[in-house]
Amino acid sequence: MSVLAAHRLRWAVTDTATLTGRALAHWTRQPVPFAVGLLFPVLLVLMFGYLFGGAMSVPGGGDYREFLLPGMYAMTMAFGVETTYTAVATDTARGVTDRFRSLPMASSAVVTGRAVADLLHATAALAVLMACGVALGWRWHHGPTAALAAVGLLLLLRFALIWVGVHLALLLRSPESVAALQIIVWPVGFTSNAFVAPDTMPGWLAVLAQWNPLSATVAPCRELFGNPGWGGDSFAGSTRSTSPWPGRCC
């Protein structure tokens, strides 16, 4: 590596750390939105696990909450795209991004700083939700190595969606248009295997759920955690747990 390239890399890393610190400072100065973002998935788990969970049965004797939690972990990663979008769109609308571009700093740090901060946020949200799951009786059954591999898959999903949020925010440039993003994120999230098996859905909807990228993350996570799941022909159902869900609700 040349001296010039090494110098640029050093400043890119330094600027990324500075902008990551800026995002972390926002969390400490505005703790309520940060706390709500961490606790909202917990509310969903309680609602689906206890309000609707009594109507769900897992053939083979599996526990529905053990089936639900890996799906909720992935849903939390998917919902994080709204956080990324709002933060980047707000900076763009207020001229902060243009100000960064005018400064003598690495241009890549504007987005990489946001990516690192959002990945840290996702890690905190996942830790809180997993602690909630343990309190509700959820467990991983294939050892810590497999559990860490599942966590890595979930964070990889979040990392990929960070760039989707950054791209859409720079394209639309309006914080208010996050409502339009929610119209896309929520149906995609619910049209997956996160809450119920695709076999319980109408045929055409089951196909969409099986090939949903979110399902492709949830299925191997259930396998790695050792939680109830099922096999299938698509990449989203290519793993099989010890407690299959062949397909009936109630």
Name, in order, each residue with C-beta under 8 angstroms of 168's C-beta and a sequence gap of 6 or more.
Answer: 85, 181
Q: What's the whole-model pTM score?
A: 0.84
Q: What is the number of residues in the chain?
A: 250
Percent of the chain past pLDDT 70, that is, above it, reads 88
What integer pLDDT is reported at residue 234 of this predicted model? 40
pLDDT band at residue 157, thresholds of 50, 70 and 90? very high
Confidence check: pLDDT of 92 > 70: yes
Residue 192 backbone class (left: φ over 0; alpha: ψ -120 to 50; beta: rest): beta
Confidence check: pLDDT of 191 > 50: yes
Name, in order, each residue with C-beta under 8 angstroms of 114's C-beta and a sequence gap of 6 or more.
Answer: 19, 23, 84, 87, 88, 162, 166
Give φ, ψ of 196 to 5 degrees: -140, 165
Q: Which residues pair with 58 in a beta bridge?
A: 62
Residue 173 backbone class (left: φ over 0; alpha: ψ -120 to 50; beta: rest): left
SS3 244: strand
Give φ, ψ of 234 to 5 degrees: -90, 170
Residue among 216, 210, 70, 68 nearest 142 (CA): 70
CA distance 247 to 231: 11
Amino acid code (one letter) for 44: L
* Residue 19 contacts residue 110 (beta carbons within 8 Å): yes
Break the chain into its structural domains and give their ranges.
3-194
35-49, 76-90, 105-119, 154-168: least confident range? 35-49
Confidence check: pLDDT of 44 > 50: yes
